[in-house]
């Protein structure tokens, strides 16, 4: 492999940044050597009702498994994101909202206005009986009310579970039921790229399969004609007209739950990742400031959706805890045309942009003109998240979007980690395209082999984290044993990330992708088992195996092998129907890119599907299938190769 190009920290950045190379080493060294005093000091960045005297108290050991941070501290997360800024920056803009349609006016909310809106929303929830510890599901488009709803839950100490608005009624119902949520917040419709999304109709369909649900609070977003069910559905604009604009913030223990966010794993059922209040907020706030070198008055744009963890930590909690101006965008990157993102940057004078490689690859395919037609002079930092960024997209982001002025902050992290784990700091870290570079303070990564032996120096293996950090998830909702089994049983005493990783001679980390049955489609995590269980739920399907295969824009695409029931014919029509079926079972992001009808799947004699072989065939790499002699019926492989979908 040829040596990657290195981009040293520019002189101007060395002078202006909070943390330089030496500073980073000191910070990281201290955070690992003396985490207790390091984190108690960092905890001062939050506004505590009772300041903690305890920092991390944890053990990843099976017999004494527990994770606590700042356990004796009390705070309210929403008050940290809003109330404490009222003294100095009540009139500063907290949220800029850019609508889907560029012809419509943007909306702005100052911290004072945000306070009012969130208090109102909290009072509406309260009037519906929502109390501390209750679960509230939020199924919303990217409109300001989604942010108000999330923060209103935090204000009351209710646990929010945001479900991405692209998920199907079935997926929504499953998530409502799993966390036993009595209240759902939704909107009449969503808008994305000029299209409408029937959220209320989806919510109605979900409600039929979610017996726990008692109330639906509906925000009027587009004014579409929708059905309201008496006794269950409440218009938000009507309810909010009747409540006070003041609502006290509940005093929460640092370890009280803040939110649940469902994410895909190796098994069929998505996991409810649970984050708690103090440690999570500290992590979101600290990493937002450090990785983007955030300065007061800057406009921060994280172009994710609040349905994903990136939206939680870097549209809402991190930036608002830091008193920043955060931009919330309703639309998609390439509508009405592929210049839109850069126009939004100019329009709102965005200083930091944080987006995903899949969006960059799609825009890159449109050429440089749509970018060059805009100024982008306000940009200082460019962030990347969600999947490994290929060096070609990295260089395009750096040279074309950033005019070779802005560092690319490639941030590796997960729903489970709450915030950035491995990422460069703009004033401290020389960049290498494709590497997330070095661990954040407090993060102790290790690379281990399949047996769990720690590998030193330049090496490649599986990525684990040896010590707890404040932003770590605390449990899987309703299944603490699954939490332990999923993350701490593979390599005893360590958190297993599920990612493969290489470390180079400079100690830089290069994430190579998932080593488990999780695929990454356009930066979204999909469990292969989830798609498989949707497929086998179809009346004609006997068996299914799903693998990822490289896709130019999406990173990975979904390739499904389907065995039909004995008397069913493989037709083009059925192929279309199955794609549509998965789409409506899970959501558009899970739609298979290719479906291959397979009379049989390659299995070991003990009945295990050999995915390694299926992956190779899907990729077209059939010359190196490896050892197929252990297969129960080696002949199925020839059929699979012959009928591969290009």
Q: Given the rule CB under 6 A, which residues bind ligand 6R9?
A: 263, 308-310, 384-388, 410-415, 436, 497-499, 511, 514, 520, 525
The full DSSP string for 261-294 is EEE--SSSSPEEEEEESHHHHHHHHHHHHHHTT-
Task: Of 644, 446, 498, give the one whose Cα is nearest residue 560.
Answer: 644
Q: Is 388 among the annotated ligand-binding positions? A: yes
Shortest Cβ distance from residue 556 to ligand 6R9 (Å)? 10
Shortest Cβ distance from residue 423 to ligand 6R9 (Å)? 8
| For ligand 6R9, the closer CB: 67 or 423 | 423
Q: Is 404 among the annotated ligand-binding positions? A: no
C-alpha to C-alpha distances, 390 to 368, 436, 477, 487, nearest whole angstrom: 18, 11, 35, 27
| For ligand 6R9, the closer CB: 275 or 538 | 275
| For ligand 6R9, the closer CB: 76 or 415 | 415
What backbone torsions phi and psi does residue 604 show, to the nearest 5 degrees? -75, 170
Shortest Cβ distance from residue 263 to ligand 6R9 (Å)? 5
């037609």: which residue's tokens? 373
Q: Is 342 among the annotated ligand-binding positions? A: no
| For ligand 6R9, the closer CB: 308 or 342 | 308
Shortest Cβ distance from residue 414 to ligand 6R9 (Å)? 4
Q: Is 580 among the annotated ligand-binding positions? A: no
Query: What gap in Å lies between CA 109 and CA 96, rounded to an integer?
Result: 7
Which residue's CB atom is positioned nearest to ligand 6R9? 415
Q: Is 192 among the annotated ligand-binding positions? A: yes
| For ligand 6R9, the closer CB: 319 or 388 | 388
Query: What gap in Å lies between CA 284 and CA 277, rounded to an integer?
Result: 11
Q: Is 9 among the annotated ligand-binding positions? A: no
Shortest Cβ distance from residue 38 to ligand 6R9 (Å)? 24
First to last CA, the chain: 29
| For ligand 6R9, the closer CB: 511 or 636 | 511
Asked if residue 336 has a cis previous peptide bond (ω within 30° of 0), the answer is yes
For the chain, the 3-state helix, strand and coil shares in percent, each to the nearest 5, are: 35, 25, 40
Q: Is 410 among the annotated ligand-binding positions? A: yes
Residue 376, token pair as written in the block: 């982008």
Half-sphere exposure in the Cβ direction for 181 (13 Å, CA): 33
Strands of 421-508, DSSP E:
445-448, 454-455, 459-465, 475-476, 495-503
Shortest Cβ distance from residue 356 to ligand 6R9 (Å)? 8
Q: Is 413 among the annotated ligand-binding positions? A: yes
Q: Is 223 among the annotated ligand-binding positions? A: no
Shortest Cβ distance from residue 40 to ligand 6R9 (Å)? 27
Q: Is 579 among the annotated ligand-binding positions? A: no
Query: What gap in Å lies between CA 172 and CA 270, rounded to an integer?
Result: 11
Pseudo-torsion of CA 477, 483, 487, 491, nearest 10°?
Answer: 170
What backbone torsions phi and psi does residue 85 show, to the nearest 5 degrees? -90, -10
Strand pairing category for 594-597 and 541-551: unpaired
| For ligand 6R9, the closer CB: 222 or 490 | 490
Shortest Cβ distance from residue 313 to ligand 6R9 (Å)? 8
| For ligand 6R9, the closer CB: 310 or 338 | 310
Whether the Cβ atoms of residue 418 and residue 275 lie closer than 8 Å to each other? yes
Rg, the chain, Cα only: 24
């180079």: which residue's tokens? 504
Q: Is 615 among the annotated ligand-binding positions? A: no
| For ligand 6R9, the closer CB: 31 or 264 | 264
3-state SS assignment for residue 514? strand
Shortest Cβ distance from residue 308 to ligand 6R9 (Å)? 6
Whether the Cβ atoms of residue 409 and residue 291 lie closer than 8 Å to each other? yes
Residue 181, token pair as written in the block: 């949520």
Q: Is 452 among the annotated ligand-binding positions? A: no
Q: Which residues are annotated as a binding site?
A: 192-195, 310, 334, 386-388, 410-415, 499, 514, 522, 525, 536, 538, 541, 583
Q: Which residues are annotated as a binding site for CoA?
A: 192-195, 310, 334, 522, 583
Q: Which residues are annotated as a binding site for Mg(2+)?
A: 536, 538, 541
Q: Which residues are annotated as a binding site for ATP?
A: 386-388, 410-415, 499, 514, 525
């Amino acid at each position: 492999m040829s040596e990657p190009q290195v981009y040293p920290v520019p002189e101007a950045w060395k002078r202006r940044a909070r943390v330089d190379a030496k500073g980073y080493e000191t910070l990281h060294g201290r955070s690992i050597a003396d985490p207790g005093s390091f984190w108690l000091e960092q905890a001062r960045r939050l506004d505590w009702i009772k300041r903690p005297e305890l920092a991390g108290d944890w053990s990843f050991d099976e017999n004494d498994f527990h994770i606590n941070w700042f356990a004796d501290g009390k705070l309210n997360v929403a008050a940290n994101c809003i109330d404490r800024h009222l003294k100095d920056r009540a009139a500063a803009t907290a949220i800029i909202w850019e609508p889907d349609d560029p012809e419509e006016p943007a909306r702005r909310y100052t911290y004072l206005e945000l306070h009012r809106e969130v208090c109102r929303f909290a009072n509406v929830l309260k009037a519906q009986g929502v109390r501390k510890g209750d679960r509230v599901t939020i199924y919303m488009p990217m409109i300001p009310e989604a942010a108000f709803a999330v923060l209103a839950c935090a204000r009351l100490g209710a646990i929010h579970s945001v479900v991405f608005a692209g998920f199907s009624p079935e997926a929504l119902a499953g998530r409502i039921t799993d966390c036993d949520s009595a209240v759902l917040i939704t909107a009449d419709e969503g808008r994305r790229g000029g299209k409408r999304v029937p959220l209320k109709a989806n919510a109605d369909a979900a409600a039929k399969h979610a017996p726990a649900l008692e109330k639906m609070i509906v925000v009027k977003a587009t004014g579409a004609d929708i059905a309201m069910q008496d006794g269950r559905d409440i218009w938000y604009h009507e309810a909010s007209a009747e409540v006070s604009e003041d609502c006290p913030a509940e005093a929460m223990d640092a370890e009280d739950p803040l939110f649940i966010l469902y994410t895909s794993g190796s098994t069929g059922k998505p996991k409810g990742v649970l984050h708690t209040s103090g440690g999570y907020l500290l992590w979101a706030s600290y990493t937002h400031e450090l990785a983007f070198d955030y300065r007061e008055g800057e406009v921060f744009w994280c172009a994710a959706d609040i349905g994903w963890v990136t939206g939680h930590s870097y549209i809402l909690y991190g930036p608002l805890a830091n008193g920043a101006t955060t931009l919330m965008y309703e639309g998609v990157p390439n509508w009405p045309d592929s210049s839109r993102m850069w126009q939004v940057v100019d329009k709102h004078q965005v200083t930091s942009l944080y987006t995903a490689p899949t969006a960059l690859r799609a825009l890159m395919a449109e050429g440089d003109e749509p970018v060059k037609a805009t100024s982008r002079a306000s940009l200082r930092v460019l962030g990347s998240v969600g999947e490994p960024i290929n060096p070609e997209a990295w260089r395009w982001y750096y040279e074309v979007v950033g005019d070779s002025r802005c560092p690319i902050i490639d941030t590796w992290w997960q729903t489970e980690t709450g915030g950035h784990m491995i990422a460069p700091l703009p004033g401290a870290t020389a960049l290498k395209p494709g590497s997330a570079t070095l661990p954040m303070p407090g993060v102790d990564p290790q690379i281990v082999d399949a047996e769990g032996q720690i590998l030193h120096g330049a090496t490649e293996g599986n990525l684990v984290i040896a010590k707890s950090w404040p932003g770590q998830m605390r449990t899987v909702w309703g299944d603490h044993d699954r939490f332990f089994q999923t993350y701490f049983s593979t390599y005893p005493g360590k958190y297993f990330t599920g990612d493969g990783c290489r470390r180079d001679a400079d100690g830089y980390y290069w994430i190579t992708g998932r080593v488990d049955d999780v695929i990454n489609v356009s930066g979204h995590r999909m469990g292969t088992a989830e798609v498989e269980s949707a497929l086998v739920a179809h009346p004609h399907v006997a068996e299914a195996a799903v693998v990822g295969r490289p896709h130019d824009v999406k990173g990975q695409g979904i390739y499904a092998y389907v065995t039909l029931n004995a008397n069913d014919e493989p037709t083009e029509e059925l192929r279309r129907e199955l794609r549509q079926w998965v789409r409506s079972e899970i959501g558009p992001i899970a739609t298979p890119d290719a479906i291959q009808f397979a009379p049989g799947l390659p299995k070991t004699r003990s009945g295990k599907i050999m995915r390694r072989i299926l992956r190779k065939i899907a990729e077209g790499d059939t010359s190196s299938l490896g050892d197929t002699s252990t297969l129960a019926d080696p002949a199925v492989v020839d059929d699979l190769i012959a009928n591969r979908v290009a």
